[in-house]
Amino acid sequence: MSTCDPSSQLLQGGLTAVPGFFAAGLSSGIKKGGLADLALIYADTPCRVAGLFTQNQFCAAPLQLNKRHLEKGLGRAIVVNSGNANAFTGAQGMRDAEAMARAAAQSLGLPVDAVYVASTGVIGERLPLRRILEAVPKLCAALSDSGSAAAAKAIMTTDTFQKETAWEASVGAQRIRVGGIAKGSGMIHPNMATMLAFLATDVAMETALLQDALREAVNYSFNCVTIDGDTSTSDMALLFANGKKGHLIRTKDLRYRQFVALLKAACLALAKMLVRDGEGATKLIAIEVSGAKDRAAAQKIASSIARSLLVKTAFFGEDANWGRIVAAIGNAQVPVLEKEVDLSFGPTQLLRGGAYLGRDAEASVSYYLKRGEIELHVGLRSGEGSATVWTSDLSFDYVKINASYRS
Amino acid sequence: MSTCDPSSQLLQGGLTAVPGFFAAGLSSGIKKGGLADLALIYADTPCRVAGLFTQNQFCAAPLQLNKRHLEKGLGRAIVVNSGNANAFTGAQGMRDAEAMARAAAQSLGLPVDAVYVASTGVIGERLPLRRILEAVPKLCAALSDSGSAAAAKAIMTTDTFQKETAWEASVGAQRIRVGGIAKGSGMIHPNMATMLAFLATDVAMETALLQDALREAVNYSFNCVTIDGDTSTSDMALLFANGKKGHLIRTKDLRYRQFVALLKAACLALAKMLVRDGEGATKLIAIEVSGAKDRAAAQKIASSIARSLLVKTAFFGEDANWGRIVAAIGNAQVPVLEKEVDLSFGPTQLLRGGAYLGRDAEASVSYYLKRGEIELHVGLRSGEGSATVWTSDLSFDYVKINASYRS
């Protein structure tokens, strides 16, 4: 899926590759063993802000605070802790989230509603607020224009590597940048919010358009990845735009489209990292469905395959078990005829018009399945709709990690 | 959940505990190592038949045949093989299913449309028809009024034990029996069909009512269990009623209700066996939700908990990870307020009105979680709706079994 124009370019530096943004990360003692657990992102000028939040009924306290701050559509900083989600913590949780924002606002000399907060980790335990408040001044002092990696590291939970990306592309006459950091691992599933993602850009765009751009980019990236089908109470994406480059984009013109393509590229890069780092994942699997009635039908089918535990364990076993894949296609609640199903693994077709192409093709697929990156293509004959969903396999380690996460 | 009147009684003998029903099972060579793989159920008089079939788009050939035979609502025999699902096998699969029914019909001296067929096992490979045809005469000769266990054994795939049950209760002035066999393991999930279940009864009931009774019983039993959320292309429930006892039930009177309660008891007993034998399952978990707006809302919430991989792995790890449970409640797409959630594990309450009751309660829950049978109760304050869903934990062995099932 080409999501970006040919002039787009992958950069080093993550979120702080965007001029005007600073970041830091350190250990405040929430996590044991001196692991980094507190991050700060700071913009040296006021930004327009777009945000998307979990659809879980129990939206965690920090998200509720952010939604309030987002009403003005402006912001300067994001303070994030890992190790504790401050979720299902009632009125106390709300007070703790406010105290966390207030501490950062005071240290940075900002109004409190310019500060956004995020918390990720165990649900239902009170935030260790004192540790956070004590660490905030040090965190502010550590802000740096090369701090993206430190911040990316501090927001990790069961992630095994930090996730950051930076892209540049032409938007109108300007070269615009988008940089971001994210954390995932477990509970990765479509329907926003599927993770924490913090994105920065120097584009100048009206807030309502910025929100539309974020929604569009997220729908084609974070909402197209699934690991275990769970949705967390804490997940969100925030996009800060400092407007340092070019004239304000006010309509959905060519520049808007160019920016969305750039934002998609950045979000997709982060989303794929989330899948690759899914708990216990040994394979990154792209499931492409084409020829469906429309995009929604294609996405339903791709998601049904991506979510099937039987399919995911078969990929872990490197078994060309196409029967489970067709069973998953049949479970998508989309009308499909058996004789209209094509199925290919990478370059090798295994089903054509519903007919199995034989042991030789299957042997070649079995060989292909030993790779770490797998492409599965489902072709239908119902229309022009297509969609791609990324997922991981389901391994022993998924069970191991999640059976013992809290202890 | 009391599903049966106090006079109901659990009997020995499975399906053939019902007078007039005979069964057999043997090895036809579809499975390796001389494992039983072919079963026959036979009624010595014509039966009224009710049936429910998978909602998967790719309904396997045997089910398509059965739907045709079911149009008359009558039947005398069911022939079932394991080791091959005869699913996604196109027109050839249909011819093979017909040949299988014809062979049994000839051996038993029945019209072909009195014979129902079922196949379970690997999807997408042609049925080894010759082996089945050769074995059918021997199978007919082996029919016995104590053959339930042999038939139950022959329909197993990755099941680790055979599943049969028999119940008796008063329906009007008569003692009526329901006996049945089932197979499950993997792909167990609500929404019919979630398994193979074959049920026999001596009740006399009009076919349309019998169908309603089966649907009702299945909705409260098989459709309330979930292991991995997948739905197979081959699953079905068939109920044969030979009408040897009592006067024909023609309306939804007291006798109809009594029979439904009896049928539910039999289906629920089999459904719980399916969960207990879910692939790699180490625990049987009953998730009871009460106080929801209505039954549908309660069932959505219970299912969301039952399907969460994070919850299931936590149960495997015997971790009182209530944060994951509340996250799953929040994912059910049912409006719920945090402060209206009560949560108990067995006798111990852990959340009251959304508030965590402390480390002592949690320690007691942790001890409780070492049991093989666990009850989780979620209490809400939205209404009178309640539902129970049964599930298993997710263990290393689930991954192991499913990563290597075909090889």
**DSSP states along B303-330:** HHHHH-HHHHHHHHTT---HHHHHHHHH
**Distance from A395 to chain B by nearest Cα, in Å?**
6
Q: Which residue of B has its CA nearest to A353?
A: B90
First to last CA, chain B: 41
Rounded to whole angstroms, how far apart are CA atoms B114 and A245?
A: 77
Q: Suggest the residue from B119, B279, B402 to mutate for an interface test with chain A (most A CBs closer than 10 A).
A: B402
Which one of A230, A326, A338 has the shortest CB-CB distance to B310?
A230
The answer, yes or no, to whether residue A407 has pLDDT greater than 90, is: no
Token pair for residue A11? 């950069």
Which one of B310, B324, B336 has the shortest CB-CB distance to A57?
B336
First to last CA, chain A: 41
CA A247 from centre of chain: 29
Q: How confident is the model at residue A349 (pLDDT cuts 50, 70, 90)?
A: very high
Grouping H, G, I as helix, E, B as strand and the rest as coil, residue B172 is coil
pLDDT beneath 70: ranges in chain B: 1-7, 185-194, 227-232, 279, 398, 401-407
Which one of B186, B231, B354 has the shortest CB-CB distance to A90?
B354
Grouping H, G, I as helix, E, B as strand and the rest as coil, residue B245 is strand
Query: CA angle, corner B282, sides to B278 and B288, nearest 5?
Result: 75
Active site residues of A: 194
Q: Which residues of A touch B125 (CB under 8 A)?
A: 323
The predicted-structure confidence for A215-248, as pLDDT tens digits, reads as follows 999 989 988 887 655 666 778 999 999 999 989 9
Beta bridge partners, B179, equal B166, B200
The answer, yes or no, to whether residue A337 has pLDDT greater than 80, is: yes
- pLDDT value of residue A7: 63
Q: Do A123 and B326 touch (CB under 8 A)?
A: yes
The predicted-structure confidence for A262-301, as pLDDT tens digits, reads as follows 999 999 999 999 888 876 788 899 999 999 999 999 999 9
Which one of A122, A314, A398 has the shortest CB-CB distance to B323?
A122
Q: Which residues of A touch B355 (CB under 8 A)?
A: 90
- pLDDT value of residue B192: 32
- pLDDT value of residue A207: 97
The answer, yes or no, to whether residue A116 has pLDDT greater than 70, is: yes
**Distance from B304 to chain A by nearest Cα, in Å?**
9
The answer to whether B356 faces chain A, any CB pair under 8 Å, is yes
Q: Which residue of A has its CA nearest to B401?
A: A313
Token pair for residue A350? 């295994």
- pLDDT value of residue A113: 96
Closest CA to B77 of B267, B243, B238: B238
- pLDDT value of residue B240: 98
Rounded to whole angstroms, how far apart are CA atoms A151 and A241?
A: 18
- pLDDT value of residue B254: 96
Q: Do A402 and B330 touch (CB under 8 A)?
A: no
- pLDDT value of residue A188: 43
Q: Which residues of A touch B85 (CB under 8 A)?
A: 323
Q: Do B314 and A403 touch (CB under 8 A)?
A: yes
The answer, yes or no, to whether residue A191 has pLDDT greater than 50, is: no
B236-249 and B196-205: which strand pairing?
A: parallel
The predicted-structure confidence for A119-177, as pLDDT tens digits, reads as follows 998 888 899 999 999 999 999 999 999 999 999 999 998 788 999 999 999 999 999 99
Q: How far is CA A143 from CA A40, A107, B79, in A?
A: 7, 12, 73
Task: Give the HSE-up count for residue A64: Cα atoms under 13 Å, Cβ half-sphere.
Answer: 21
Residues 201-220 of A with CB under 8 A from B: none
Size of the A and B interface in Cβ pairs below 8 Å: 184
Q: How far is CA B99 from CA A351, A400, B93, B127, B136, in A?
A: 25, 47, 10, 11, 11
- pLDDT value of residue A126: 92
- pLDDT value of residue A4: 46
Q: How far is CA A262 from CA A2, A11, A176, A258, in A?
A: 11, 12, 8, 6
Check: CB of residue B61 under 8 Å from CB of residue B89: yes
Which one of A327, A329, A399 has the shortest CB-CB distance to B313?
A399
User: pLDDT higher for A163 or A314?
Assistant: A163
Residues 119-178 of A with CB under 8 A from B: 122-125
Average pLDDT, chain A: 90
Share of chain A above pLDDT 90, in %: 68
Closest CA to A305 of A332, A280, A282: A332
- pLDDT value of residue A398: 67
- pLDDT value of residue A193: 33
The answer to whether A380 faces chain B, any CB pair under 8 Å, is no
**Distance from A151 to chain B by nearest Cα, in Å?**
26
Rounded to whole angstroms, how far apart are CA atoms B91 and B95?
A: 6
Active site residues of B: 194
